[in-house]
Amino acid sequence: MNILFLGDVVGKVGRQIVDDQLSFIKEKYKIDFTIVNGENSAHGKGITTKIYKNFKNIGVDVVTLGNHAFSKSEIKLSINECKDLVRPANIEPLNVGNSVIVKQCKNKTIAVINLCGKVFMDACIESPFDAMNKILSKLKADIIFVDLHAEATSEKVTFFEYYKNKVTAVVGTHTHVQTADERIKYGCAFITDAGMCGAYDSVLGRDIEEVFDLNIRKIPSRFKPAEGPGILCGVVISIDDNTNRATKIERIQIRP
């Protein structure tokens, strides 16, 4: 079983490169199951129902989110219709959507969990460890995949070390910069951050001049997503069909 995970899709450029490249990547890596982080897919913040449906139409199995999960308020009302959209278990509002999604693939059950980190993250109302313990106490699945949407590398590594015997993969998101620390330990795949799908010539997918405006020139700025050619980042995780444990994790990047 090969699982593809694509990191934070930022705005139109990110959506376009995923649209353009997904079928090629799925064929090249013999992908059975695809997960995409869509938390920045709607103009850099949040997701809409329309964007979620497009991800589904192009062959994404599950879409994960993060601290901007509910930035577009429309999604709060329609999230129950988006059955393969997983929201972080530890941000408010807690009463909409699912923080665990269990899907069937090749006679296996795959659980996809989304959590936010607590370190340097305002949105998080509960430690990802406390939230994860609650989820695991009720969860049964052959393969458990966690998208840990967090700022601090230390928190992501700690999470992986703590849960490596209980889950199949811990993939970090949110920083938009792919790290080169992918590894397998005790059959669990890990990378601190999968990177982003968005404009290559940008500040984490945002327009460079707009970031200068806010951070240097002290001019209000909306941090709009950058335009231009895109970069696509993610990982492919291979899982042994007999043991349900990860055997390989490979970083992928398509640059302009």
Residues 254 and 86: their CA atoms lie apart, in Å, by: 26
Q: Which stretch binds Fe ion (CB under 5 A): 16-24, 155-163, 168-176, 228-236?
A: 168-176
Amino acid at 84: D
| Active-site residue (options: 43, 68, 149, 176) | 68
Residues 60 and 181: their CA atoms lie apart, in Å, by: 25
Q: Which is nearer to Fe ion, 41 or 67 (CB)?
A: 67
Q: Are 247 and 184 in contact (CB under 8 A)?
A: yes
> Angle formed by the axes of helices 11-28 and 49-57, to 10°?
20
Q: Which is nearer to Fe ion, 8 or 126 (CB)?
A: 8
Site track for Fe ion across 121-160, x = CB under 5 A: ----------------------------------------
Is 149 marked active-site? no
Q: Which is nearer to Fe ion, 27 or 122 (CB)?
A: 122
The region, left, alpha or beta by phi > 0 then psi within -120 to 50, assigned to residue 236 is beta
Size of interface with Fe ion, in residues (CB under 5 A): 3
Q: Which stretch binds Fe ion (CB under 5 A): 70-78, 139-147, 173-181, 231-239?
A: 173-181
Tell me what percent of the chain is helix, strand and coil, each rounded to the nearest 5. Answer: 25, 30, 45
Q: Which of residues 38-77 bind Fe ion (CB under 5 A)?
A: 66-67
Which residues does residue 105 pair with via DSSP β-bridges, in sequence order? Answer: 108
Interacting residue with Fe ion among 87, 156, 174, 206 (CB under 5 A): 174
Query: Closest distance between Fe ion and the C-beta of residue 211, in Å?
Result: 16
In degrees to the nearest 10, what's the CA dihedral of 133, 138, 143, 147? Answer: -40
Q: Which is nearer to Fe ion, 66 or 205 (CB)?
A: 66
Give the interface with Fe ion as residue ranges (CB under 5 A): 66-67, 174
Q: Please give the positions annotated as active site.
A: 68
